[in-house]
Amino acid sequence: MSYSFRERLKIAIAKDLKEKLRLSNKEVQHILENIMKICPISDEFAKALEKHDSRFKGKSLDQIIDMMNDQEFLEFVDEVLKEYRRRIALKKKKQKQSESESDSDSDGSQEQLEEEQVAQEATAESEKKHD
């Protein structure tokens, strides 16, 4: 897992990433609390960059992140967060399907429900900004 991604994300959020990505305080808090769930996605994206961008060939995950300029990192984080939200929404959809098939009460933890709510709010907020 990329140490550089975690550290650079924390610094960037404290600096100006929050404003540039138009993240609410609640979204920032959620990101920081769930950074270990987000990092595997950033690793996937960095590995894809390593495969498809000659500038990153043969570089480690940390080196890839460190080589990005601020704008590239901003775009990278934006894409990683979109994928994270998409996966949460997909997970929620599968959970609802599973629950409706079994006709049982919700077994989801409070943390998972809160995570899904934040993701939904973030997705809705992001869609408003892009319209």
Give the tens place of pLDDT for each residue, 115-128.
666 666 665 555 55
**pLDDT surpasses 60 at 106:** no
* Rounded CA separation 68/74 (Å): 9
Matching residue, tokens 């404290």 = 14
* Rounded CA separation 65/3 (Å): 9
The whole-model pTM stands at 0.71
Please report, for the chain, how many H helices and E strands are present, in that order.
7, 0
Task: Name the percent of the chain lying above pLDDT 90.
Answer: 60
Residues 79-100 have a mean pLDDT of 88
Residues 85-110 have a mean pLDDT of 75
* Rounded CA separation 35/28 (Å): 10
